Chain A
Amino acid sequence: MKLWRTPLDADKVRVPHGVVSIIIERCKGCSFCVEYCPRDVLIISKKFNKKGYHYPEVISAGLCVDCNLCEDICPEFAIYSDPEEQHSTAQTKENA
């Protein structure tokens, strides 16, 4: 994003990062999440699920801003995003 001057609160603003989770076996390959993702995080995978549909795959994980649009538009309840912090703390808990 281009800004004509640095915002005064630039050091306080943090762009949220999300982690995309996919339930592969629920997907029916409608491609809504891939087409409507505002950051183009997803692509349609070349692989199939058990029912023979091409499910979405994350190609640029760092770009996800946790807007939850994929979760809301998915007709199959097969994809969602979590804030990255929540995911990393959960993982450290699992490891501990």
Chain B
Amino acid sequence: MSTAVTNTAPTGERQVQHHPKDTLLRDDRLPHIWCPTCGIGTAVSCFVEALRESGIPEEKCVVVSGIGCTGRVAGYLNLDSFHTTHGRAIPFATGVALANPDLHVVVFSGDGDLVAIGGNHLINAARRNMNLTVICVNNFIYGMTGGQCASTTPETARTSTSPRGNTEYPFNVPYLMEACGASYIARWTVLHIRRLKKAMTEALNKNGFAFVEVIAPCSTLYSRRNKLGTGYDLMKFYHDNAEIRHGANTKDVGIGFQTKIIVGKFVDITKPTFLEKYQGKTTGGGK
């Protein structure tokens, strides 16, 4: 990689124009639109590293995103990527995965897009054990549209549509995914970069429906409305309150407002995927 060094400062850092991860990023689109201290950039950084570690060739990886802050990921990755309509990332990805089973199809989207508006698609893709890797960045709020209450917003959290505190029960997404039959379920915060990277690598190499929930800070809306400080304060909160519990019962991993966050790898099972079962019926035996 050619790095144009403009200045070698006496203090020791080099001022450069290119980053080693730029080969997998559309660097002409950078700096990206995410707010300062937003966690999505870190999740993308971990994904780029995980893709390299997984050994999957770049031309065999497809990234599909929906709408929202995290929906921008497809536009920043220098891979075959598609930015779909709101909530419809999984149907599009299902089509890609079935039309060309050699591809590794990744759905990289937010909680509002995947769990709320595309909730039915998420449930049914997990039920069918479709060969997809779903990375869901959960920041507990609809970020891009102005901080409305989402289906993952914890109870009592304030948003622009629940100014006196949310009264709804939120989704416990890993529990939902296990009930639907996903093969791999993990949850990490963006502070656990090495573990998140490992989970993404495992999810990319998993044959079946792999779901990784990434807890990320939203500094401009969630944190500001709830007077939680900046994204860095939320990172400190994750440091103090995230508890690693591998194989935990997903029933117990729901997230309340500023309560303990249980992270870890919850489910890792092997079972035939949709395509394997379908091909077994249509081409095998012929009875």
Contact = CB atoms under 8 A, between A and B. Distances in A.
Interface of A: 19-26, 28-32, 35, 51, 53, 57-62, 64, 69, 71-78, 80, 87
Contacts of B232: 30-32, 35
Given A72-B45, A74-B42, A21 B31 contact: no
Contacts, number: 102
B46 A72 contact: yes
Interface size class of B (residues with CB under 8 A): 35 or more
Interface stretch (B19-27, B81-89, B96-104, B168-176): B19-27
A72 B13 contact: no
Give me the 4 closest cross-chain CB pairs, A-B, nearest first: A61-B12, A75-B41, A58-B13, A28-B36
Interface in B1-60: 3, 9, 11-22, 25, 27, 30-32, 34-42, 44-46, 49
30 contacts: A20-B12, A22-B14, A23-B15, A23-B16, A23-B19, A26-B19, A28-B31, A28-B35, A28-B36, A30-B37, A30-B230, A31-B232, A32-B232, A35-B232, A58-B12, A61-B13, A62-B12, A71-B45, A72-B42, A72-B194, A72-B197, A73-B45, A74-B42, A75-B38, A75-B39, A75-B40, A76-B31, A77-B19, A77-B22, A80-B20
B36 A78 contact: no
